[in-house]
Structure 1
Amino acid sequence: MALDRQAFCIPTRTKLILALLAILCCASAPAIAVFRAAVVKVDITPTDSQYLLGYGPRKSEGVYDKIYHRIVLMDDGVTQFAIVSSDLALVAPSEYDKVAAKLQKELKINPVNFWWTFTHTHSAPEVGPPGLPAVFLGDRYKHDFDKVYTEMVEQKLIEGIAEARKKLAPAKLGTGWGFASANINRRARLADGKITLGMNPDGPVDRRIGLIRLEKEDGSLLTLIANYAMHGTVFAAITEISADGPGIVAEYVEEKLGVPMLYINGAAGNIAPLYSQQEAPSGKRVLPQFKVMLGDKIIKANKDILAMTSDVKLRTSVMTVETPRKAGLGWTDDMLNYTRTTKEGINLVKLPVRFLKINEDIAIWSAPLELFCEVSNEIRDRSPFPVTMYFGYGNGWLGYMLTENEYAQGGYESTVTPYSPKAAQDLTDAVMNYLQGEMKKP
Structure 2
Amino acid sequence: MKPILSNLCILNCFLVLLFSSNANPVSEKNDSIKVGVAKVCITPEVPIQMSGYESRTEPFKGVHDDLFASASVFSDGINKAVLISVDVIGFSNSFYEETVSRINNKTGIKKEAILLSAVHTHGGPVSKSYETNVSPAIEKYVNELQDKIVNVVIEASGKIQPVKIGTGKGICNMNINRRARFADGSIWLGRNPDGICDHEVSVVRIDDLENNPIAVLVNWPCHGTVGGQENYYITGDWPGSTARYIEKELGDNVIVQVTAGASGDINPIYGPNDKFDDIEAIGMLLGEEAVIITEKIKTATSGGINTINKVITAEGKKRLASRQPNQKLEPGTDRNINLSVIKIGDLVFAGISGEVMNEIGLKIKVDSPFENTIVVTHCNGNSGYLCTDEAYPLGGYEVMVTQTMPGTELLITDNLQKMIESVKN
Shared fold (TM-score, shorter chain, > 0.5): yes
Q: Deviations over 1:244-293 (max 9, x none)?
A: 11111111111111111100100010000110201x2xx12322211332
Contact map agreement 2:353 2:380 (CA 8 A) in 1: yes
Contact map agreement 1:173 1:312 (CA 8 A) in 2: no
1:49 corresponds in structure 2 to 47
Q: Percent identity?
A: 28
* Residue 106 of structure 1 pairs with residue 106 of structure 2: yes
Pairing of 1:324-403 with structure 2 (within 5 A) = 324-327=315-318, 347-359=333-345, 361-403=346-388
Q: Of 379, 399, 410, which aligns to 1:425?
A: 410
What secondary structure is seen at the aligned counterpart in 2 of 1:200?
coil
Q: Of 200, 204, 217, which aligns to 1:208?
A: 200
Compute the displacement of 1:322 (Å): 2.2
What secondary structure is seen at the aligned counterpart in 2 of 1:396?
coil
Compute the displacement of 1:399 (Å): 0.4
Distance 1:289 1:64 in 2: 15
Taking structure 2 as the reference length, the TM-score comes to 0.85
* One-letter amino acid matched to 1:268: S
Contact map agreement 1:181 1:293 (CA 8 A) in 2: no
Compute the displacement of 1:64 (Å): 0.8
* Residue 273 of structure 1 pairs with residue 268 of structure 2: yes
Distance 1:386 1:90 in 2: 28
Contact map agreement 1:93 1:397 (CA 8 A) in 2: yes
Compute the displacement of 1:349 (Å): 2.2
* Residue 170 of structure 1 pairs with residue 162 of structure 2: yes
Compute the displacement of 1:381 (Å): 1.1
Distance 2:85 2:189 in 1: 26
Q: Of 215, 224, 230, which aligns to 1:223?
A: 215
Distance 1:205 1:404 in 2: 17
* Residue 246 of structure 1 pairs with residue 244 of structure 2: no
Contact map agreement 1:112 1:317 (CA 8 A) in 2: yes
* Alpha-carbon spacing, 1:142–1:221, altered in 2? closer, same or farther (3 Å): closer
Distance 2:141 2:267 in 1: 29
Distance 2:117 2:31 in 1: 28
* Residue 322 of structure 1 pairs with residue 320 of structure 2: no
2:304 corresponds in structure 1 to 313
1:9 corresponds in structure 2 to none
Distance 2:171 2:415 in 1: 28
Contact map agreement 2:89 2:127 (CA 8 A) in 1: no
Contact map agreement 1:229 1:266 (CA 8 A) in 2: yes
Q: Deviations over 1:135-154 (max 9, x none)?
A: xxx8xx67567121112111
Larger displacement relative to structure 2 (84-93 or 317-326): 317-326
Q: Deviations over 1:366-416 (max 9, x none)?
A: 111100000110121122222211011101211001111112111111122
Distance 1:434 1:398 in 2: 19
* Residue 439 of structure 1 pairs with residue 416 of structure 2: no
Compute the displacement of 1:70 (Å): 1.4
Aligned length: 381
* One-letter amino acid matched to 2:337: L
* Alpha-carbon spacing, 1:42–1:142, altered in 2? closer, same or farther (3 Å): closer
* One-letter amino acid matched to 1:190: F
Contact map agreement 2:338 2:381 (CA 8 A) in 1: no
Pairing of 1:182-197 with structure 2 (within 5 A) = 182-197=174-189
What secondary structure is seen at the aligned counterpart in 2 of 1:156?
helix
Contact map agreement 1:127 1:145 (CA 8 A) in 2: no
What secondary structure is seen at the aligned counterpart in 1 of 2:190?
strand
Compute the displacement of 1:71 (Å): 1.2
Q: Deviations over 1:147-182 (max 9, x none)?
A: 211121111111111111221111111111111111
Compute the displacement of 1:94 (Å): 1.1
1:96 corresponds in structure 2 to 96
Larger displacement relative to structure 2 (184-193 or 285-294): 285-294
1:35 corresponds in structure 2 to 33
* Alpha-carbon spacing, 1:52–1:100, altered in 2? closer, same or farther (3 Å): same
Distance 2:182 2:342 in 1: 41
* Alpha-carbon spacing, 1:346–1:60, altered in 2? closer, same or farther (3 Å): closer
1:155 corresponds in structure 2 to 147
Compute the displacement of 1:321 (Å): 2.0
Q: Deviations over 1:15-44 (max 9, x none)?
A: xxxxxxxxxxxxxxxxx9542112111001
Larger displacement relative to structure 2 (381-390 or 213-222): 381-390
Contact map agreement 1:85 1:263 (CA 8 A) in 2: yes
Compute the displacement of 1:47 (Å): 1.3
Contact map agreement 1:60 1:240 (CA 8 A) in 2: yes
* One-letter amino acid matched to 2:45: T
Distance 2:390 2:365 in 1: 20
* Residue 59 of structure 1 pairs with residue 64 of structure 2: no
Give 1 or 2 for the bigger CA radius of gyration.
1
Distance 2:365 2:150 in 1: 32
Which structure carries more relative contact order (alpha carbon 8 Å, separation 6+)? Answer: 2
Unaligned runs of 5+ residues in structure 2 are: 1-29, 321-330
* One-letter amino acid matched to 1:59: P
What secondary structure is seen at the aligned counterpart in 1 of 2:307?
strand
Distance 1:347 1:239 in 2: 35
* One-letter amino acid matched to 1:178: G
Contact map agreement 1:88 1:243 (CA 8 A) in 2: yes
* Residue 410 of structure 1 pairs with residue 402 of structure 2: no
RMSD across aligned positions (CA)? 1.9
2:69 corresponds in structure 1 to 69
